[in-house]
Amino acid sequence: MTGLGAVFRPQVAPERLRAVARAADEAGLEELWLWEDCFREGGISTAAAALAWTERVRVGVGLLPVPLRNVAVTAMEAATLHRMFPGRALLGVGHGVQDWMGQVGARVESPVTLLREHLLALRALLGGERLTTEGRYVRLDDVALDWPPERAVEVLAGATGPRSLRLAGEAADGTVLTASTPPDGVRRARRLIDEGRAAAGRTEAHRVVVYLLAATGAGAAERLRAELVAEGDDTVPGLGVAGDAGAVAAAVERLAEAGADTVILQPTGDEPDPEGFVRFAAEQVRPLVAQA
């Protein structure tokens, strides 16, 4: 069965998160994802709050930009969430938007090298290892977590380009793809991820999470079109969906058939009813996807 979730976008004021998270939990939504976009809302802080306000929904952060974060801090925060809310926290890391990284003085010469070093160190620390490493960007001297997660956890990587997708297969446990990824793009990503997995000799399951830009209700088509134009994606076929639950479920299935394990519905930035959107995903779209 294809996993399904929705995004609480950081264009929505943080004080709205509590109502949206509770609506998602009560409606039976599987996953609620958050973004650490500059300069809006922090990923770990919002995830901790959403987890504390809910009982069962899994809460993901996609993504934490690694240039902003020392890997030991990422590991400590991730381990804390996993121990306080076992099985419910999902964390992804990525390059970050390079212009934003430049704004805060964190842009690096080789984002791929940094992401590789961060992923390898993060997975080792969360696995309970004591680590000494002297990389180009990640340097640790006899570092281990006092409170590592009590069971294996999934570390996902955000990726778009070929090198990053191969790296995700090599060094992460799953991959997060943006809403700019049509079904053919998912197929291509799967091939590149599998190349990385093969090169690293990895045979365990690798989850692919794909965002799907979706709009429903009054003005849905217009809102979707405006966002695609704003993102420069309006000429890419197969991106986004506007309509009722049937239309959205069909778009989810197209991504699943292309290789997505989980599809996360991404509302437009001007979605007028964030609480209603998560209920729509859980109560109307989920049953249709589950029956396919």
* Distance between start and end Cα atoms, the chain: 8
Q: Which residues contact 99 (CB under 8 A, 6 or more apart)?
A: none
Is CATH 3.20.20.30 the classification given to domain 3-291? yes
**Per-residue pLDDT for 291 more than 80?**
no
The mean pLDDT value for 63-67 works out to 97
Q: What is the pLDDT of residue 5?
A: 98
**Per-residue pLDDT for 93 more than 60?**
yes
Q: What is the pLDDT of residue 275?
A: 98
pLDDT, tens digit (0-9, with 9 covering 90-100), for 12-27: 999 999 999 999 999 9
**Per-residue pLDDT for 292 more than 70?**
no
> What global pTM score does this model have?
0.97
Q: What is the pLDDT of residue 1?
A: 85
pLDDT, tens digit (0-9, with 9 covering 90-100), for 232-284: 999 999 999 999 999 999 999 999 999 999 999 999 999 999 999 999 999 99
CB 212 within 8 A of CB 221: no
pLDDT, tens digit (0-9, with 9 covering 90-100), for 139-156: 999 999 999 999 999 999
CB 245 within 8 A of CB 280: yes
Q: What is the pLDDT of residue 34?
A: 98
The mean pLDDT value for 109-135 works out to 98
Please write down the long-range contacts of 248-254, taking CB distance under 8 Å and 24 or more positions apart.
248/212, 248/214, 248/216, 248/285, 249/285, 249/288, 249/289, 249/292, 251/212, 251/214, 252/2, 252/4, 252/212, 252/285, 252/289, 253/2, 253/289, 253/292, 254/183
pLDDT, tens digit (0-9, with 9 covering 90-100), for 195-234: 999 999 999 999 999 999 999 999 999 999 999 999 999 9
Tokens 């699943």 found at:
256
